[in-house]
């Protein structure tokens, strides 16, 4: 049985006024263009075409909201680091990303990084944006099926050393299913981060 049996697309956000109510829990899904972000979303949600995949990098232009459980959402962010995206398009994203960061319902970030290329400065910039002192960050080293076992172990070790306490990290492949269940559990843990208990503050 699927971990998330009632997945649905909620809405696309092109301006801050279009955000859904700031309630429940949501996790941002981000990554460099062509890192396999859409494929990762589809694998985690166990849906073939929930997020559209494309052979042309940089196709996500809006913030796309999906609900995986009641009041538990993921937010698909535009891919970054792709030169063909016009500067005016990038400027439109800034107020959206800033407004997303200000939401109390944003509990964490799931960052998709191509395992063959490793972590780059832009990835650390996004981790800083997420504010890991307040929110959880989990990194998926995607396309790990294209590496052999020794290479996967090496990139995982290097990534852990680079990230330190900033984020948790795992190897992942949407194609082979490697690490999908682990990623689902990590997503659920991010949703629950900083959740108030009925008797809590």
| Mean pLDDT, range 30-56, rounded to an integer | 85
| Mean pLDDT, range 42-61, rounded to an integer | 73
Of 35-44, 80-89, 141-150, the range with the lowest mean pLDDT is 80-89
User: In the structure encoding, which two tokens stand for residue 181, read together?
Assistant: 């269940």
User: In the structure encoding, which two tokens stand for residue 177, read together?
Assistant: 């299913």
pLDDT tens-digit series, residues 98-153: 999 999 999 999 999 999 999 999 999 999 999 999 999 999 999 999 999 999 99
| Mean pLDDT, range 149-167, rounded to an integer | 98
Q: 3-class DSSP state for residue 190?
A: helix
CA–CA gap between residue 104 and residue 8 (Å, rounded): 22
The percent of residues above 70 in pLDDT, for the chain, comes to 87
| Mean pLDDT, range 15-20, rounded to an integer | 94
Q: Do residues 120 and 112 touch, judged by C-beta distance below 8 A?
A: no
Domains of the chain: 8-191 (3.40.50.300)
CA–CA gap between residue 50 and residue 146 (Å, rounded): 24
**N- to C-terminal Cα separation, the chain:** 36
Pairing of β 8-13 and β 63-69: antiparallel
Q: Predicted confidence band at 62 (pLDDT cuts at 50, 70, 90)? A: confident
Q: 3-class DSSP state for residue 81?
A: coil
Q: Predicted confidence band at 57 (pLDDT cuts at 50, 70, 90)? A: very low
Q: Identify any residues that bridge with 140 across adjacent strands, giving them in sequence order.
A: 112, 170
The percent of residues above 90 in pLDDT, for the chain, comes to 75
pLDDT tens-digit series, residues 174-195: 999 999 999 999 999 999 987 6
Q: Predicted confidence band at 78 (pLDDT cuts at 50, 70, 90)? A: confident
Q: Predicted confidence band at 201 (pLDDT cuts at 50, 70, 90)? A: very low
CA angle 13, 16, 22 (to 5 degrees): 90
Q: Is the pLDDT of residue 48 over 50?
A: yes
In this prediction, residue 168 carries a pLDDT of: 98
Q: Identify any residues that bridge with 48 across adjacent strands, giving them in sequence order.
A: none
């Amino acid at each position: 049985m699927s971990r998330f049996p009632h997945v649905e697309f909620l809405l696309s956000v092109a301006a801050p006024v279009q955000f859904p109510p700031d309630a429940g829990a949501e996790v941002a899904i981000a990554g460099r263009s062509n890192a396999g972000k859409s494929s990762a979303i589809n694998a985690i949600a166990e849906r073939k075409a929930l997020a559209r995949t494309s052979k042309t990098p940089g196709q996500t232009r809006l913030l796309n909201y999906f609900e995986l459980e009641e009041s538990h959402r993921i937010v698909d962010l535009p891919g970054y680091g792709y030169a063909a995206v016009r500067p005016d398009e990038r400027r439109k994203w800034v107020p959206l990303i800033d407004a997303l960061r200000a939401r109390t319902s944003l509990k964490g970030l799931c960052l998709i990084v191509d395992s063959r290329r490793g972590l780059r400065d832009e990835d650390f910039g996004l981790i800083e944006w997420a504010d890991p002192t307040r929110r959880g960050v989990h990194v998926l080293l995607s396309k790990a099926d294209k590496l052999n076992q020794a290479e996967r172990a090496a990139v995982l070790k290097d990534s852990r050393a680079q990230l330190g306490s900033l984020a948790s990290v795992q190897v992942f492949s949407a194609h082979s299913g490697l690490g999908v269940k682990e990623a689902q559990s990590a997503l659920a843990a991010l949703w629950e981060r900083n959740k108030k208990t009925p008797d809590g503050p």
